[in-house]
Chain A
Amino acid sequence: MPYSYGSRIGKSMSEDKLDLLKGTLDLLVLQTLSAMGAMHGFGIARRIEQISGDQLRMNEGTIYASLVRLQNRRLIKAAWGTSDNNRKAKYYSLTRAGEKELAEETATWKRLSSVIGRVLATSGETGE
């Protein structure tokens, strides 16, 4: 499955791109919408790729699965609109619940990555 529900760090390292960890795409989508305001699926995908410096391995179709999940959880809402180049597009934006969720998840992620970072740093010292 292109959208990774499991870390394949070893493989992605060898291909110079990172697979997303489970659940992180939803967080990235929320953050993108928070930072950029209402966006369509193509725009969100493009934005995540730009910000990540093209480091993430991601099939763009998986963005839509993430958007549906977030909609089901009432974290984002959608409405049809017109894009800059006058094309019909579905625009997604954060709900209040989405903002709250983003704040909580960001805090959790930061704590988790810091803990993991510390543990890995310790392991590195021990291993040396």
Chain B
Amino acid sequence: MKARVLEALSRLLSVFRRHRLDEDFEEELSIHIEMLTEENQHRGMTPAEARRQAILRVGGLNATREIHRTARGIRLVEDFFWSSVLDFKLGTRMMKKYPGLTVVGLIGMGIAIAIGGAAYRVIDTIIDPVLPLDEGDRIVTIHNINPTLSDREDRKTHLHDLITWREAMDTIKEFGAYRTIQRNLITPGGRVEPMRIAEITASGFRIARVPPFVGRYFDDQDERAGSEPVVVIGYDIWQARFAGGADILGRTLQLGTTLHRVIGVMPRGFAFPVNNGLWIPMRLDPASFERGQAPAIEVFGRLAPGATMSEARVQAATIAQRLAAEYPTTHQHSSTRVIPYAHIYIERPESLWVFHLIQLFFSALLVVIGTNISILVYARTVTRMDEFAVRTALGASRTRVVAQLFVEALVLSGSAALLGLAAANAILKEVSVLLVQFGGAQVPFWWNFNINSATVEYAAVLAILGAAIVGVLPALKVTGRGVHAGLQSLGSGGVVRHLGRTWTVLIVGQVAIAVMLLPLAVGTAVEAFSKTTEFGFASSEFLLSSLQLDQEREGEFGTRYADVQSELIRRLEAEPGISGVTLTTDVPGSESYFPVEVEKDVGSKGSLDGTLGAGETYIGVSKVDLDYFGMFEIPILAGRGFGTGDLMPAATSVIVNRTFVEKVLGGGSVLGQRVRYTQKGQQPGPWYEIVGIVPDFPKPSKPNSSTSKLYHPMVPSDIHPIVLAVRVRGSEPSSFADHLREVTAAVDPMLRLGPVTTLDEISDEIWVRISAMILGLVTLSVILLSAAGIYALMSVTVEQRRREIGIRIALGADRRRILVTIFGRAAFRLGIGVFAGTLPIAVVDWTSNGEALGGHSALVFSCIAAIMITVGLIATVGPARRGLRICPAQALKENG
């Protein structure tokens, strides 16, 4: 067996050492022939006869070489390999020879592969995640699903069910549980930082099978109520807060109001169960809670040795039935699900097809762009008809020629794939940064968007697909009947002359596609690069954050919240750098939307007949502090602002914005009109009276993008959590965030601010901008490809007529007239293309009453026509000049 493997290996290696082995053998053979020749001469033969006989003796030179080569390696593989090497070299030469096509192909396919590859990595990470723990695929999560309850409510049963699962399930070896709590992390001399802390059972660490880096993790003793508060910290916090000090064990840190003693440090990268860097023991006692009233927890476990996921599911289902019978109040509608732990974010496997569809969409981009490039390659391939005709005449099969063009295209698409992977890497890094920015510690630690081998393989598949589209399609077209015709008319230029109609169709099609995409491309680019929100004032001076009072037990607020809130506002207002503080339920521009109906006029108060038509209109609603409008410098346009009287229980005052007045009430005097909330199948809410009008805030960036808004006055202590807005003057607002946290935690360590951002950052709807930019980039690249296509096709068309032009000059035709003829034909084709592309846009614009083009149809159409005609004409100038410069004698010679 070993000998056979060695032999196969030697044969395979010989494929790559062909040249050396051939040279060696040639030398050996020639020595052999020389020796035989000498021997024959000694026998009395003439030198020529002696050599002839020697060659006969070895069996002929070529036959011997063939036998040797066959014995040496794998002929088919060798032939394929070396012809591919040649094709690759040719492909590289082609890239150098046609730099325009190379650049367009690299950019076009590179963008497509970058987007396809990045989408693949993201989707693959989400739908097929891998838990980077020892036998991570055997860690499962187990939870109840009750369609009549919210997810969170359902998880309130888990604390009691955990006991049952632990006792009754032998398919899961060990169970663990956690819940996430949020607290301010306060260390001596360190900044105050809101943290998501995993309150976890001691078994959780055992299930993860990751030993602590320093000290220990929890044991069962730490879980007991009344034990000393202890904490296990992550590597990063150890470094950042304790400078990686060796004396870490026994030191304390404060979480909210409680001091915890550090008993261990987990190694770098460990963030189980979600993305945590702080762990405290879970001390929930089921005996302290009614079933269904305990805090919501997540349960997980490790499959017992030999047990399978389906066995665990069957066992869990049986237990669920038993629980439903024993506890109908909480479990009647419940079923229990066991899924791989890493899949907790894809709870509905049936929805996976959506992800595949998205993947397909992104990958299809390559087909669109590839088809476009294939037209360019087709144009180039046609000019090489003579080459293929000769190769065919020399015995190359059609498959061989197609294979050659495929490999040439593969060099291009492979290079594009390398560029694409680099770009995908950049995109994925950006996605990771954004995820951390927006999701923070909620983004699971096993979501890793780095390029991996699977991404590279996917990009390779895309490159092959791209090569098939870009290389094989034109190759099949060109090597059809044309190649035989090419052989017949070799050197006379006869082949290209037959392609007039194809060129016309291609040019017209290209122009039409480009024209159709132009408005979209321009629109998307404008969308991407224009600011979506304008505040009309120094929005960077405003800091916003959510304000929350953490509680050890649910519902223990009492009057504490109102007290700490007013104390915080008092302290902030006393700060020298702060010029204003206000509270609201929503970040400006991110209000919640509700359906409302509105009374038609003041005279018919209370009458439903008086409401506006079918009247449900969705509007943005915010509850605001009394000084909200003043703080944001929003003037009252009509009526009045809110006063303390509006906070009385019987008060019904609301303020609306200008768009509300115009869109919902149809303009005019609206003060005193009434509005109420409606919801299908429910009694409408109470009426509210409009007492004031304010301008649109934030200011809409586009004429039609303003939304109707309605403001209620609020008592801030009634709202939890709440949005705190602070106006900072005299210092850099973003650097003020840490101080803001310190002031807040000084009022009460349990009072916690969320992420602090400036109003500017919030208005940068970054996801919208990124998706708009990707779409814009794609569309622009298609435009670029289309323009390049037009250029290439025009060049080839004029090039084909070069000899005709030369002959006409030789016959004395006026050069200017010839030029007009050429441009005339080019312009005619462009004109048809522009018309064909404009027509659908015009129809869409007309059917949307001019909204599709934003009322700028004349301008848009003129720009499109101007751009496309300029591109087309520029494309004809170069070849036409070359044609006009041709020497008539040379032209006649070519024609001969």
Q: Do A and B come from one complex?
A: yes
Task: Mark A residues whose CB is within 8 Å of B.
Answer: 1-3, 40-42, 45, 59-62, 64-66, 68-69, 71-74, 87-90, 97
Contacts of A1 in B (CB 8 A): 67
Contacts of A71 in B (CB 8 A): 10
Residues on the A chain within 8 Å of B14, using CB: 72
CB distance from B27 to the nearest CB of A (A): 8
Let me know if A61 and B24 touch, CB within 8 A: no
Contacts A2-B63, A73-B7, A97-B3; is A61 near B72 (CB within 8 Å)? no
Please tell me if the beta carbons of B31 and A68 are within 8 angstroms of each other in the complex. no
Is B68's CB under 8 angstroms from A68's CB? yes
Instruction: Give the residues in chain A near B57, CB-CB below 8 Å.
Output: 59-60
Interface residues of B in 51-78 (CB under 8 A from A): 57-60, 63-64, 67-68, 70-72
**Residues A64 and B6 in contact in the complex (CB < 8 Å), given A2-B59, A42-B31:** no
Q: Which of A62, A64, A66, A74 contacts B29 (CB 8 A)?
A: A64
Bound-complex Cα distance A88 to B31 (A): 8
Tell me which residues across on chain B come within 8 A of A2, comparing CB atoms.
59, 63
Across-interface contacts of A72 in B (CB, < 8 A): 6-7, 10-11, 14, 72
21 pairs, CB–CB < 8 Å, chain A vs chain B: A2-B59, A3-B67, A59-B64, A60-B36, A60-B57, A60-B59, A61-B63, A62-B67, A64-B29, A64-B32, A64-B67, A65-B68, A66-B71, A72-B6, A72-B14, A73-B3, A74-B3, A74-B6, A87-B34, A88-B31, A97-B3
CA distance A68 to B7 in the complex (A): 10
Partner of A60, one of B34, B58, B68: B58
Nearest residue, chain A, Cβ from B31: A89
Interface string of B1-43 (1 = CB under 8 A from A): 0010011001100100000000011011101101110000000
Residues of A within 8 A of B63 (CB): 2, 61
Query: What residues of B have a CB within 8 angstroms of the CB of A74 in the complex?
Result: 3, 6-7, 10
How far, in angstroms, from A59 to B70 measured CA to CA in the complex? 16
Q: When chains A and B are docked, how far (Å) is the Cα of A71 from the Cα of B3?
A: 11
Q: Is the CB of A87 within 8 A of B31?
A: yes
Contacts of A40 in B (CB 8 A): 28, 31
Q: Which of B24, B28, B71 is close to A69, meaning CB atoms less than 8 Å apart?
A: B71
A9 to B503 alpha-carbon distance, docked (Å):
67
**CB pair B6 A73 closer than 8 Å:** yes
The CA-CA distance from A88 to B27 in the complex, in Å, is 9
Nearest CB of chain A from residue B58's CB, rounded to whole Å: 4
Question: 5 nearest interchain CB pairs?
Answer: A59-B59, A61-B64, A65-B71, A61-B58, A72-B10
CA distance A106 to B289 in the complex (A): 88
Contact A42 B36 (CB under 8 A): yes
Which of B10, B24, B35, B72 has the most A CB atoms < 10 Å from its CB? Answer: B35
Whether the pair A62, B3 counts as a contact (CB closer than 8 A) is no
Q: Tell me the dominant secondary structure on chain B's binding face.
A: helix
Q: Given the complex of chains A and B, what is the CA–CA distance between A89 and B71 in angstroms? A: 21
Question: Which of these, B3, B36, B71, contacts A68 with CB under 8 Å?
Answer: B71
A47 to B286, CA, bound (A): 95
B residues engaging A (CB < 8 A)?
Answer: 3, 6-7, 10-11, 14, 24-25, 27-29, 31-32, 34-36, 57-60, 63-64, 67-68, 70-72
Given A59-B57, A59-B59, A73-B3, A65 and B67 contact (CB-CB distance below 8 Å): yes
Query: Is A41's CB under 8 angstroms from B32's CB?
Result: yes
Cβ-defined contact, A64 with B35, below 8 A: no
Q: Give CA–CA (A111, B336) in the complex, Å.
A: 72
Other than the known A2-B63, A40-B28, A69-B71, what 18 A-B pairs have Cβ atoms closer than 8 Å?
Answer: A1-B67, A42-B31, A59-B58, A60-B58, A61-B67, A62-B59, A64-B28, A64-B29, A64-B32, A64-B67, A64-B68, A65-B70, A66-B71, A68-B68, A72-B6, A72-B7, A73-B10, A88-B27
> Chain B's nearest CB lies how many Å from the CB of A85?
9
**Is the beta-carbon distance between A41 and B28 smaller than 8 angstroms?**
yes
Tell me the bound Cα distance from A104 to B11 in angstroms: 24
- Closest chain-A Cβ to B206's Cβ sits at a distance in Å of 52
Q: How long is the Cα–Cα vector from A41 to B68 in the complex, in angstroms?
A: 13
Measured between alpha carbons, how far is A87 from B71 in the docked complex, in Å? 26
B258 to chain A minimum Cβ distance, whole angstroms, is 73
- The docked-state distance in angstroms from the alpha carbon of A65 to that of B57 is 15
Measured CB to CB, the nearest residue on chain A to B3 is A73
User: How far, in angstroms, from A68 to B24 measured CA to CA in the complex?
Assistant: 12
What distance in Å separates the Cβ of B18 from its nearest Cβ neighbour in chain A?
13
For B11, the chain A residues whose CB sits under 8 A away are 72
Asked whether, in the complex, the Cβ of B25 is within 8 Å of the Cβ of A64, the reply is yes
Give the distance to chain B from A94, nearest Cβ to Cβ, in Å: 15
B135 to chain A, nearest CB (A): 42
Taking CB as reference atom, which chain B residue is nearest A66?
B71
Contact of B35 among A3, A42, A59 (CB under 8 A): A42
Closest A residue by C-beta to B60? A61
Contact partners of B27 in chain A: CB under 8 A: 88, 90
Contact of B32 among A3, A60, A69 (CB under 8 A): A60
- Min C-beta distance of B8 to chain A, whole Å: 9
CA distance A60 to B64 in the complex (A): 9
Report the Cα distance A68→B14, complex, angstroms: 11
> What's the minimum C-beta distance from A73 to chain B, rounded to whole angstroms?
5
A17 CB to nearest B CB, Å: 14
For the complex, give the distance between the alpha carbons of A2 and B58 in Å: 9
Nearest CB on B from A95, distance (A): 11
List of A residues within 8 angstroms of B60 by Cβ:
61
The distance in angstroms between the C-alpha atoms of A2 and B24, with both chains bound, is: 22
How far, in whole Å, are A69 and B59 apart by their CA atoms in the complex?
18
Q: Are B72 and A68 in contact (CB under 8 A)?
A: yes
Contacts of A69 in B (CB 8 A): 71
Which residues of chain A are near B24, meaning CB under 8 Å? 90
In whole angstroms, what is the CA distance A60 to B55 when docked?
10
A76 to B532, CA, bound (A): 78
Q: How far is A74 from B513 in the complex, measured between Cα atoms in Å?
A: 63
Chain B residues within 8 Å of A59, by CB: 57-59, 64
Q: Which residues of B contact A89 (CB under 8 A)?
A: 28, 31
**Most interface-central of A45, A61, A66 (chain B CB within 10 A):** A61
Q: Closest B-chain residue to A1, C-beta based?
A: B67
Partner of B59, one of A61, A88, A90: A61
A74 to B6, CA, bound (A): 8
Alpha-carbon gap, A76 to B750, bound state (A): 83
Which single residue of chain B is at the shortest CB-CB distance from A88?
Answer: B31
Q: How far is the CA of A62 from the CA of B35 in the complex (A)?
A: 16
Q: Bound complex: CA of A1 vs CA of B31, how far in Å? A: 23
Q: How far is the CB of A27 from chain B (nearest CB, A)?
A: 15
Q: Please, which residues of chain B bring their CB within 8 A of the CB of A61?
A: 29, 32, 58-60, 63-64, 67-68
With A and B bound together, what is the CA distance between A116 and B28 in angstroms? Answer: 38
The answer for the CA separation of A123 and B94 in the assembled complex, in Å, is 71
Bound-complex Cα distance A42 to B34 (A): 10
Residues of the A chain whose Cβ atoms lie less than 8 Å from the Cβ of B70? 65
Q: Chain B residues near A66 (CB, 8 Å)?
A: 71
Q: Name the B residues within 8 Å of A65 (CB-CB).
A: 67-68, 70-71
Q: How far is the CA of A59 from the CA of B3 in the complex (A)?
A: 28
Separation of A87 and B35 alpha carbons in the complex (Å): 10
C-alpha gap A18/B774 in the complex (Å): 77
Q: Shortest beta-carbon distance, B17 to chain A, in Å? A: 12
Chain A, Cβ-Cβ closest to B24: A90
Which chain A residues border B6 with CB–CB below 8 Å? Answer: 72-74
A77 to B35, CA, bound (A): 22
- B458 CB to closest chain A CB (Å) equals 37
Residues of B within 8 A of A97 (CB): 3
Chain A residues with CB under 8 A of B28: 40-41, 64, 89-90
**A82 CB to nearest chain B CB (Å):** 11
Q: Is the CB of A64 within 8 A of B10?
A: no
Taking the nearest CB of chain A, how far is it from the CB of B69, in angstroms? 9
Query: Which residue of chain A is the closest to B71 with respect to CB atoms?
Result: A65
Which residue of chain A has the shortest Cβ distance to B57 in the bound complex? A60
Minimum CB–CB distance for A98 against chain B, Å: 11
CA distance A127 to B58 in the complex (A): 41
